[in-house]
Structure 1
Amino acid sequence: MAQLPRVKITFAEGNLGKVGDSPDGLVALMVASAAVGNTYELGKPYSIRSVADLKALKVAEDNNATLLKHVREHYAEAGEGSELIIYGVDKGKTMVELVTKGASEDEAGELRKLITLCKGRLRAVAIALDAQDEPDATEGIVADILSAIPKAQETAVYATDVLYAPLFVILEGRGFKRQGLKDLTELGCNRVGVFVGDTRAEGKGAAIGLLTGRIAKSAIQRNVGRVSDGKIAADALYLSGQPLETQTGAVADLYSKGYICPRQYVGRVGFYFCDDRLATSQADDYAHITARRTIDKAYRIAYDALLGFLLDELELQSDGTLHPAVVRSWEQEITGAIDRAMTAKGELSSDETSGSGCRFEIVPGNVLATSMVKAKLSVRPFGYARYIDVELGFTAVSSK
């Protein structure tokens, strides 16, 4: 069967050598909720810009305390005025049920439905439950969350490959216990992260609103744990019901096994995010939210620019390959689009000679015979000072 004309972009792997209000920060909070008449319905996305906007939906402490908590914490970090999508789901649904892609739209979980309803605008979705009774965690967090990670990855990949709407998913790490903690770096899910840590000692979940708020207000290349951006907007944070200050070992375990969690620094007041890990190996080019957001933005820009060439007439050489003038035109169009939208904004590391933060190359091939143009697009990300080693000693006093 002949395929429809299309533009297809795949993500290259192994290239990094590892062993304000903007759609770039548009996040959705999917939270287990209770419907409130016809003002707040489940399975329907609502756009808000402040905690006060919940009043019009008649969402309050007495009917949706968990949703209200996450929205408050989001705006404590992001600041009011930025757009947030909230999406209520049935409290009886498990995380696995919510994120499952399904064989069809009728069988799809709420995550796929939300992505479709928002028409590709979302850059990230954070999901929180409101279960009062759930099994104890045997692998660090409850089994439902761990089982949901590859399911969420599958749905996020579907959004990218089929809907051309790349995004990542943050799952609430529930029921955290240090014993038997599952190693997420073995899962290979580079579009899914798990956040652990809550603002309530008695909380069973995680304060994901704090993380979504920091993501929403940060430039795509900016790590949520960047110390100079300031502390997390929370007076207290807990792991397993214990103050974070007493859980240094647990924080180290969480980080080494691929979770996102809060931490402290000696000499600094408050709490900070300890990096932006995703559930995959550090050797993965897209092991961090910064890399994920950067490459996803380049994907969106390149896709839009390349659509302008789809089914266009192409000047060819005698061997069926593209005429050099056409090659130059394509290269200038794609690199120009990305440089204007990203390099000029400081979202890519620019080349010291060309000033460009990307490179687009046409791969020579017989277009006349195949009707296919192949190309390679690479963008230059920033490096991050994750480890700073300094040798400190005395200097000898010279005698004269």
Structure 2
Amino acid sequence: MSFPKVDIQLQSGALGRFTDVGSGKAGFVVLMASADEPGDHAFGEVKSYSHLIDMPDELQAVAALQLYFSLADGCETFIMPVVDTTTIASVVYLSHASHYAEKLLDHDTSIRYIGVVGTLLLANLTTALTNAKALAAAYLDKIRPVIVALPYSWVTADVLVDLSVATYNRVAAIVSYAGDEIGLFLGKRVSNQVHRNIGRVKDGALPIASCLLDGHASPQKDVANYMASVETLHNKGYITIRTYVGRTGYFFTDDPLACVAGDYSNVANQAVIDKAFLITYNTYVNEINEDVEVTTDGKLNPGVCKALQGNVETAIKNQMTGEISSVKAFVDESQNILTTQKIEVVLKIVPKGYSKEIVVKLGFDNPAIA
């Protein structure tokens, strides 16, 4: 006999009764020097803030938080300061005695993004990515999908880990020497709809006057001088910042996650399916142990099928307006519920497409010889 539950299996390869799940909130773990422990916010404690000015002076001085609130002012945000002798790999380690990331995530069930502000060198990158992946997987099992953002303090001497062929699902590695770009990343995520790519040019430039690629030894570290390095980092699956010829300011390159290409290998698509996942759960959990009508031959009543299809389609359409292209649910009437005591639903989301590369074939035309 199976345990009553809703088992939602994310399918990959094809790309009235509801509770609004929202688009998710952000949580930060901020590594700070022991001398900078906020007076009203102890190390290891979680507090929420909606404005930069609401925080203790020590947190207001953190560049990543300044950048975050320049994009997401008014958004409830959860922050945990931690002494900087703690490694980032430890912060996201499920079995750590202090349970840093778990304590942050458990503070509010609406947290969908967690970012760590600090320095993460190549030597510890793989361990941190592995721990972050396990953290995200554990919370997905709790019906708490989350994306983890880690800084990567890249330097030119590093032999890059190729994240484009890795399997660190739900983890983003952001090139950031001290974690400042984590604030920009999370600010872009929570201040936009879930489907929006953080690199969308029409949103305007990032709220920064300069952007240095600190991994270069040269004093002229502006990313505009090192677009070849930016492209290499991007092609290896890292999120970084770039410039465009003819455009003023700085933009994110794209939003890859640290995993091989697939339906959920970028932040926007993962966030879209996460929101649909939560809506689907909230819709169908109401149906657990419900008695359903069957036909004279023991199959599902067509009316039951239509209701199950319509409920989830309506919930997703109402809560994801503009975030997906379409949604379609299907419940096969021929299912033998009397034997299996199980109903299978096929739910297909058609996401938005993204113009990541535009190829223009430009040339002259002579109508006289056409």
Normalised by the length of structure 2, the TM-score is 0.90
User: In percent, how many aligned pairs have the same letter?
Assistant: 28
State the Cα distance separating 1:289 from its structure 2 match.
0.8
2:126 corresponds to 1:143: no
Corresponding residue of 2:229: 250
2:331 corresponds to 1:362: yes
2:241 corresponds to 1:262: yes
State the Cα distance separating 1:37 from its structure 2 match.
6.8
CA-to-partner distance for each residue in 1:341-368, whole Å, 9 max, x for gaps? 11xx21111xxxxxxx211122443212
The 1:317/1:60 distance shift into structure 2, 3 A limit, reads: closer
Give the secondary-structure state (helix, strand or coil) at the position aligned to 2:270.
helix
Corresponding residue of 1:138: none
2:74 corresponds to 1:73: no
Task: Tell me, in whole angstroms, the C-alpha distance in 1 between the residues paired with 2:149 and 2:296.
Answer: 52
Q: Which amino acid aligns with 1:166?
A: P
Corresponding residue of 1:92: 85
Determine if contact 1:301/1:338 at 8 Å carries over to the other structure: yes
CA-to-partner distance for each residue in 1:173-217, whole Å, 9 max, x for gaps? 1243364111001222230001114xxxxx544521111111121
Q: Which amino acid aligns with 1:24?
A: S
Q: Which amino acid aligns with 2:356?
A: R
2:100 corresponds to 1:101: no
Q: How many residues align?
A: 356
Task: Tell me, in whole angstroms, the C-alpha distance in 1 between the residues paired with 2:297 and 2:134.
Answer: 41
Task: Tell me, in whole angstroms, the C-alpha distance in 1 between the residues paired with 2:353 and 2:46.
Answer: 36
CA-to-partner distance for each residue in 1:95-150, whole Å, 9 max, x for gaps? 22111223xxx8573222222222x21111111225xxx8xxxxxx5221222112
CA-to-partner distance for each residue in 1:298-322, whole Å, 9 max, x for gaps? 0110100101111111112344432
Task: Tell me, in whole angstroms, the C-alpha distance in 2 between the residues paired with 1:114 and 1:315.
Answer: 44
Corresponding residue of 1:122: 111
2:175 corresponds to 1:196: yes
Determine if contact 1:305/1:333 at 8 Å carries over to the other structure: yes
Task: Tell me, in whole angstroms, the C-alpha distance in 1 between the residues paired with 2:179 and 2:25.
Answer: 23
2:280 corresponds to 1:290: no
Q: Which moved more, 1:371-380 or 1:330-339?
A: 371-380
State the Cα distance separating 1:329 from its structure 2 match.
0.9
Task: Tell me, in whole angstroms, the C-alpha distance in 2 between the residues paired with 1:206 and 1:70.
Answer: 4
Q: Say which of 126, 138, 143 aligns to 1:164.
A: 143
Q: Which moved more, 1:324-333 or 1:173-182?
A: 173-182
The 1:372/1:327 distance shift into structure 2, 3 A limit, reads: same
The 1:398/1:178 distance shift into structure 2, 3 A limit, reads: farther
Task: Tell me, in whole angstroms, the C-alpha distance in 1 between the residues paired with 2:143 and 2:2.
Answer: 17
Corresponding residue of 1:41: 42
Q: With a CA cutoff of 8 Å and minimum separation of 6, indicate the structure with the bigger relative contact order.
A: 2
CA-to-partner distance for each residue in 1:218-263, whole Å, 9 max, x for gaps? 1111111000100011111111152111111110111101010000
- Can you give the 5+ residue segments of structure 1 that lack an aligned partner in the other structure? 17-21, 135-140, 198-202, 350-356
Determine if contact 1:100/1:108 at 8 Å carries over to the other structure: no
- Can you give the 5+ residue segments of structure 2 that lack an aligned partner in the other structure? 16-20
Normalised by the length of structure 1, the TM-score is 0.83
Task: Tell me, in whole angstroms, the C-alpha distance in 2 between the residues paired with 1:116 and 1:359.
Answer: 33
